[in-house]
Structure 1
């Protein structure tokens, strides 16, 4: 009985000690390191122009310049596949296949700048996006929010499991702002899991939507390995539900 009690105390102490371990979340990639990701976006738009759109994109992220304060990533979209259902009209496009009709040729023309250009992203060590430059790509053809959503901004200090903090992102193309509460939920064999829950507000501070999901960070580089975020937003008379999933692809 004494052995059992001692064992239970040891287990409780180990769990408590593990829960109190603190970690400083800071991006730490190796310069020149390239990672490949798959981004899956599912959008359901209900409104005057209802539409269902599924998009699958492959992209690379290379840490080209690592300094004590910032990291410059160069990103390339290597493939884009999309299916759009807009009521009486359906459109499919796959960048890895030759266009077979006029509609696919039009889609190929629209996505061509994304596939042929290199996106430059500067982030600080706390994973906040400082700037983005996507030459030759029109503003309306590129969703900056999808890149900002690849990571969660980190807090100033070391944190333990269960600690929460807030972060903000600007959605300039929508004229909106997102405020998110992030919680370091656990550490597993895959990395650090961060649960997120947030709201979107318009320029006047009115609530226009919510977001929930999670991120799993690499335990060494602290960059996102996988994420899954669902958002619901009402914008210009339409209700938009989106699920964005990101996962690192092993070469």
Structure 2
């Protein structure tokens, strides 16, 4: 059993894991080529078969972002997820010694008990909380937004969700966002859409502005041939939950608390 860098010939194994994760909706297969090119993409191999994956992505602010931790369903419950987690911690510590990162971060769903347990036992702390809502494109009359170039004034949140990655507001983050996301404007209201994925971030949070933006978000999702999309909102929208439900935004699981947790472990 070894942990090694992912190779092009690992694709069939990765596609199999993706098909068996999140009812076949896992994004892992879609980002396989991009992650190979980016580096920091590792697999756990046993007897010639890839049974797990993990990725460390360098984000602005000297952050090592952990993502893509997966274990094939046939091998879960045997400690392989912990093995990958500890490997990534060691990788992060090495990058910190080299001065390339100052901290490790990752985001997880509030019901992902195993990831939360691993985080808490290895020195991670909750840095921020968000709500992620789901909805279907058919719920809205589509309205085409305008694609615009983001500027610092558009980054209205201190911690900005770009899909399921989160970056702090800075000039470096702005450059990264231009490479990894698209900014759309609809009647003066703006939202971010990652180039990979369908989790959108409104940059102005309020029931009226969200109501105005949702048809434009649905248009972007339909252009990407998706029948549904998600909306990521800061935890401060909790008082708006009843109104958000009336707009057609539904939480994946019944909860009154934020369902996305962003963890951080300082290394330097």
Q: Quick check: TM above 0.5? A: no
Q: Report which of the two has the higher share of strand.
A: 1
Q: TM-score scaled by structure 1?
A: 0.29
Give the TM-score normalised by structure 2: 0.27
Higher relative contact order (CA 8 A, sep 6+): 2
Which structure has the greater CA radius of gyration? 1
